[in-house]
Structure 1
Amino acid sequence: MTDLKVLVVEDEPLMRERLVEMLHRAGATEVTEAVDVASARKAFDAREYHIILLDLGLPDGDGHALMQEFKERREAQHIVLVTADDSIESIQRAISAGANGYVVKPYSQDKIHDVINNYAVVHGGEGAVLEGLNRPH
């Protein structure tokens, strides 16, 4: 996998900046940023992404509802929810609603590598782990 496109939907500027940086370090070739539901919809309509990292708490709507909308429009879309809520109930709700993963903030480089590798394994088949992955030793 050499051309990885990711949509980051995160309203907190510092968290978004950190996440984008980690994605580039992990091998993402194109990262599009959205700060709310409206800009996420616009980005989603404009192109297809391999992975969408979607914050649950957005200023103009609910991340769960947006995930459902995206999944209805593109059933196979790989969506990973991100939030500070690490409760079992929240994780179960996300997975049962169709999330392909769940990352608890704060972001770490290892968590981001895991998200990308999980996508690669699920959607890439044989030899799916990203080549040249810059995982710290």
Structure 2
Amino acid sequence: MKKVLVVDDAAFMRLTLKTMLEKNGFQVVGEAENGRRATEMYKMLNPDIVTMDITMPDMDGLEALGEIIKFDSKAKIIMLSAMGQEVKIKEAVVMGAKGFIVKPFKEDYLLKTLSQF
């Protein structure tokens, strides 16, 4: 069972992701509401996959991606972003993100993407 850390500033989105993942055989080991908390939790929990929102307060998803990749160059981070963030998505992939999902997304696409890791 793959362990997932869900990172999003919106509680509703974290709950939605957690529900989708857990009913499909993933284990959500933690949730973070910003990038700073995500980097702390990554170091503590060592998840197999991270779903990371880009736009968040305190520390955004790109900063957190950079911090986690510095800590673990093999980290499997999938970025989630709203439409219109193509530049940030490209930047995230260059920085080491393994993929991206554009919100709103379909459950089957989320599962297909995460199952690759």
Secondary structure, counterpart of 1:26 in structure 2 = coil
Task: Give distance in 2, aligned partners of 1:96 and 1:38.
Answer: 21
Task: Give distance in 2, aligned partners of 1:16 and 1:29.
Answer: 13
* Structure 1 segments unaligned to the other structure (5+ residues): 120-137
Shift of 1:97: 1.5
Shift of 1:111: 2.0
* Structure 2 segments unaligned to the other structure (5+ residues): none
Query: 17, 25, 30: which one pairs with 1:32?
Result: 30
TM-score (norm 2): 0.90
Query: 90, 93, 96: which one pairs with 2:91?
Result: 93
Q: How many residues align?
A: 117
Percent of aligned pairs with the same amino acid: 29
Query: 6, 9, 28: which one pairs with 2:7?
Result: 9
Task: Give distance in 1, aligned partners of 2:86 and 2:36.
Answer: 29
Query: 64, 72, 75: which one pairs with 1:74?
Result: 72
Q: Answer whether contact 2:83 2:102 (CA < 8 A) is retained.
A: yes
Secondary structure, counterpart of 1:58 in structure 2 = coil
Task: Give distance in 2, aligned partners of 1:28 and 1:114.
Answer: 12
Q: Deviations over 1:18-67 (max 9, x none)?
A: 01111112210233111112321221121211000011111112211110
TM-score (norm 1): 0.78
Task: Give distance in 1, aligned partners of 2:13 and 2:21.
Answer: 12
Q: Answer whether contact 2:6 2:28 (CA < 8 A) is retained.
A: no
